[in-house]
């Protein structure tokens, strides 16, 4: 049975020779996805750009919904199709002894959790900075303890939902006047490192997925026309999620260039992968045994990363455990509608790609 399934899946190369159209995809995906990714960052990092609060909130929470739907619909399902129980790989010795897709996703999500928890513990023990409403106490250079107002780790994780988007503040204006500037800067630096670490994990998972998408589009045959349109929207929605999350991070002045580099990295990944796919179009076989293993493992790993990041870093910290969450019911409803709309549209795209 395994030999029959493998034979049927071994479709060979089906490139149809429309090189011009394939090359155009490189530039269209590059321009559209990069522009959408940069939008939320420019809206918050450039003071000359005035973006209404609700436009920013839409981008941020629509993007969060996209990330979660990507994990379920665009990663887990393709992973099962590549190395699941009823596939060529899944029926082969070594792969047929266990359900590897959920196992790989579980392993990657638990590993990310362990990294996140270790970072949290380090900050708690070294700086006394914890989640919640409790007062934070920092130790000054003279050995005395100094209060840091109501500032919390959660406050530093989440963007302000009640005002125009702005950088996270370390100390409240009413904080104890005796708190030294160095203590405040130290807390801000620790918070930034945790936030950027969480973001890099998110982008890492999305980039894995983007490479597979680019290779598939670049070497596609008769299904190219449908994939072209769907992937432009797919990468744009994903880019919106990346940019919106990046815009909520308060970067120190010395690293003010970093958000733009990270946006560009996402914008370039898929076009480069498409170009590689075009170059290998006549020899690349996405249905080969090796290609299926690579695709299935990467998709499973990315799914675990995005599931943890989506539910913990994006939803739980913004909605459930955020002491600075807005009390405006209208605004909360808008945020939730944006979230579910992003998830629904990204799930719908899974019908085609």
pLDDT, tens digit, 9 for 90 and up, residues 181-231 = 555 667 677 778 778 887 888 888 888 888 888 888 887 777 778 888 888
Query: Is residue 122 situated within a structural domain?
Result: no
Query: Is residue 161 situated within a structural domain?
Result: no
What integer pLDDT is reported at residue 184 of this predicted model?
61
Query: Is residue 329 situated within a structural domain?
Result: yes
191 alpha carbon, distance to own chain's centre:
19
- Report the SS3 class of residue 351: coil
What integer pLDDT is reported at residue 181 of this predicted model?
57
Which alpha helices (DSSP H) does the chain contain, by range?
2-9, 19-45, 53-69, 77-83, 100-127, 153-157, 181-218, 224-247, 258-279, 289-308, 329-349
Q: How many CB atoms sit inside 10 A of residue 239's CB?
A: 28
What phi-psi label fits residue 271: left (phi over 0), alpha (psi between -120 and 50 degrees) or beta? alpha
Please, which residues have CB within 8 angstroms of residue 264's CB and are 6 or more apart in sequence? 34
Residue-number span of the structural domain to which 51 is assigned:
1-7+28-117+196-352
Number of independent structural domains in the chain: 1
13 contacts 222 by C-beta, under 8 angstroms: no
Report in angstroms the alpha-carbon separations of 34 from 103, 230, 273: 33, 16, 15
CA distance 15 to 118: 47
Query: Is residue 175 situated within a structural domain?
Result: no
Q: Please provide the distance, in angstroms rounded to a whole number, between the alpha carbons at the two ends of the chain.
A: 28
CA distance 309 to 71: 10
Query: Is residue 19 situated within a structural domain?
Result: no
What integer pLDDT is reported at residue 339 of this predicted model?
94
Report the residue count for the chain. 353
239 contacts 33 by C-beta, under 8 angstroms: yes
Report in angstroms the alpha-carbon separations of 324 from 124, 133, 148, 162: 20, 9, 16, 9
What integer pLDDT is reported at residue 32 of this predicted model?
92
Closest CA to 70 of 194, 198, 239, 185: 239
Structure-block tokens of residue 161: 């939902």
Query: Is residue 95 situated within a structural domain?
Result: yes
Closest CA to 320 of 306, 332, 328: 332
In degrees rounded to 5, what are phi and psi of residue 348? -60, -40
Query: Is residue 20 situated within a structural domain?
Result: no
DSSP-assigned letters across all residues of 198-252: HHHHHHHHHHHHHHHHHHHHHT--TTHHHHHHHHHHHHHHHHHHHHHHHHTS---
Mean pLDDT by 10 residues, the chain (353 residues): 64 64 89 90 74 83 89 91 88 87 94 84 70 44 42 48 45 48 66 80 84 82 80 88 84 88 92 87 74 89 90 86 85 94 92 79
CA distance 341 to 347: 10
What integer pLDDT is reported at residue 138 of this predicted model?
41
What integer pLDDT is reported at residue 35 of this predicted model?
92
Query: Is residue 271 situated within a structural domain?
Result: yes
């Amino acid at each position: 049975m395994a030999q029959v399934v493998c034979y049927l899946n071994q479709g060979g190369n089906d490139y149809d020779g429309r090189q011009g159209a394939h090359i155009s995809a490189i530039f269209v995906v590059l321009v559209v996805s990069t522009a959408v990714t940069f939008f939320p960052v420019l809206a918050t990092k450039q003071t000359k750009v005035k973006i209404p609060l609700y436009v920013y909130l839409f981008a941020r929470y629509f993007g969060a919904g996209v990330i979660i739907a990507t994990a379920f619909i665009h990663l887990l399902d393709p992973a099962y199709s590549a190395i699941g129980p009823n596939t060529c790989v899944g029926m082969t010795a070594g792969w047929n002894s266990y359900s590897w897709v959920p196992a790989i996703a579980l392993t990657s999500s638990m590993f990310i959790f362990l990294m996140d928890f270790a970072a949290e513990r380090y900050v708690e023990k070294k700086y006394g900075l914890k989640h919640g409403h409790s007062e934070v106490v920092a130790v000054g250079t003279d050995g005395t303890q100094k209060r840091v107002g109501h500032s919390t780790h959660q406050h530093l994780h989440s963007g302000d939902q009640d005002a125009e988007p702005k950088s996270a503040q370390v100390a409240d204006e009413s904080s104890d006047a005796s708190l030294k500037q160095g203590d405040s800067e130290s807390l801000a630096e620790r918070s930034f490192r945790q936030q950027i670490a969480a973001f890099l994990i998110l982008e890492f998972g999305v980039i894995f997925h983007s490479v597979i998408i680019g290779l598939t589009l670049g070497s596609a045959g008769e299904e190219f026309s449908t994939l072209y349109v769907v992937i432009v929207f797919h990468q744009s929605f994903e880019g919106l999620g990346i940019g919106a999350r990046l815009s909520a991070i308060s970067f120190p002045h010395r690293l003010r260039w970093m958000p733009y580099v990270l946006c560009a990295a996402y914008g370039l990944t898929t076009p480069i992968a498409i170009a590689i796919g075009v170059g290998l179009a006549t020899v690349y076989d996405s249905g080969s045994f090796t290609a299926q293993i690579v695709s299935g493992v990467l998709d499973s790993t990315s799914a675990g990363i995005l599931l943890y990041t989506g539910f913990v870093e994006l939803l739980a910290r913004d909605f459930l455990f955020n002491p600075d969450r807005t009390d405006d019911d209208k605004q909360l409803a808008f945020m939730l509608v944006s979230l579910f709309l992003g998830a629904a549209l990204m799930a719908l795209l899974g019908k085609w790609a």
